Amino acid sequence: MKVYLRHRHHHAAPPAFRAGFTLIELLVATTLLSIVMSAVYTLTHASLRSWSYAESGFDPYREARSAFTLFSHEYNNMAGRAGHLFEGDDRQITMFVIAQPMDLDEGEGRRLMRVIYRYNRNKRTLEREEALVETALPKQPPDPKEFDRSRVKVAREYKTTVAENVTDLKITYIWVPAPDDISDPNDEEPPVPVPAVYMERHDPLWGLPQGVQLAITLRDPDDDEKEYTLEATFPSRANAFRMPRESLEKMIFDEE
């Protein structure tokens, strides 16, 4: 009787079927997981903050951005022949613009309006007032003593609140004097910067400055200790004549 023995061959399992991970694989997986969790945390935090602002109704950046956008649109649409009627101080500014009225009852289309932005300290609001101009704008008189504001007839005044929770508003008027010496265009040296003149008031008949700066401070209604100050500078796109520094200082400081 013959007995046959069969030998079983044990083959080693291929590497793909081995249990566990290598150190490099663990490091890569941990890094990817950390990136994903960080992104999820950032998005969740941003969403919760936006939801909180929406629920409370207070977003200082949105409030300031809306006010600045509206002011910029009207400041860049001032009537060219009304530059001598432009005036203001550090809390209020008056200008004559050609723009669409905010009063919906006036219909569509651009109209010549007198627009006033002012800070209401009692209500802590930035207010805007528009009024339609019904008469021709007066020309700039040769003698400043002959200037009469009452010659400008307006009607249908309309007031609205531009921003709320405003604790401070500062308006600055920027004048850039003309250079004393006109540089040679063939000169390789860059022109010397001319220092600007910053004023907290602007009288009528001065013309248009080279720019206006608004600084608005907003307070969180739920936390009086949190205040946000945002600034924006608006260059004049209309005809803003640059005067020599001597003439500019004489015009400004001789009337103080």
Q: What is the pLDDT of residues 197-222, one digit of tens each?
A: 999 999 988 989 999 999 999 998 88
Model confidence pLDDT, tens digit, residues 127-176: 999 999 988 888 887 777 777 777 888 888 999 999 999 999 999 999 99
Is residue 52 situated within a structural domain?
no
Percent of the chain whose pLDDT exceeds 90: 38
Is residue 130 situated within a structural domain?
yes
Q: Print the domain residue range for 130.
A: 57-180+193-253
Is residue 122 situated within a structural domain?
yes
Rounded mean pLDDT of the chain?
82
Is residue 119 situated within a structural domain?
yes
Is residue 69 situated within a structural domain?
yes
User: Kindly report the CA angle at 188 between 184 and 189, in degrees rounded to 5?
Assistant: 85
Count of domains for the chain: 1
**H/E segment holding residue 21:** none
Is residue 161 situated within a structural domain?
yes
* Alpha carbon distance 242, 207 (integer Å): 10
Is residue 229 situated within a structural domain?
yes
